[in-house]
Amino acid sequence: MLRLLLPSVFLLSGCSHMAQDQWSGQDKAQHFIASAILSAAGNEYGQHKGWNDSRSANFGFLFSVSLGATKELWDSREAGSGWSWKDFTWDLAGAATGYAIWQVATY
């Protein structure tokens, strides 16, 4: 049930306003790099906790993506810059890259 509830709330809640931004720029590089670092750090945290590789990888990736989504929700408030699917896309790409780099460095 929870697996259906959270995506439904996310998709149906709407945003107060959307950002009018570009696909490139310093902001996008910051989203990408921060997400990559958070993903790798989350993977490493799981390893230090003694979790198996799959659980560590899931935690790292989802940790990074959830922080990116939270930042976009914060931006979507009335005083913010607006929700940006472009920023969130760069967050996803960074999280995947951080996961891949962590895997290569670990094995």
Residue pair 18/83 in contact by the 8 Å Cβ criterion: yes
Per-residue pLDDT of the chain (107 residues; tens, 9 = 90+): 556 656 655 555 555 567 677 788 888 999 999 999 999 999 999 999 999 999 999 999 999 999 999 998 888 888 878 888 888 999 999 999 999 999 898 77
Please, what is the Cα angle at 24 between 58 and 98, to 5 degrees?
Answer: 20
Closest-CA residue to 13 (of 83, 81, 68)? 83
The position carrying tokens 């920023």 is 87
The position carrying tokens 């560590």 is 56
Structure pTM?
Answer: 0.80
Residue ranges covered by each domain of the chain: 25-106
The position carrying tokens 């976009």 is 72
Closest-CA residue to 35 (of 85, 95, 90, 84)? 95
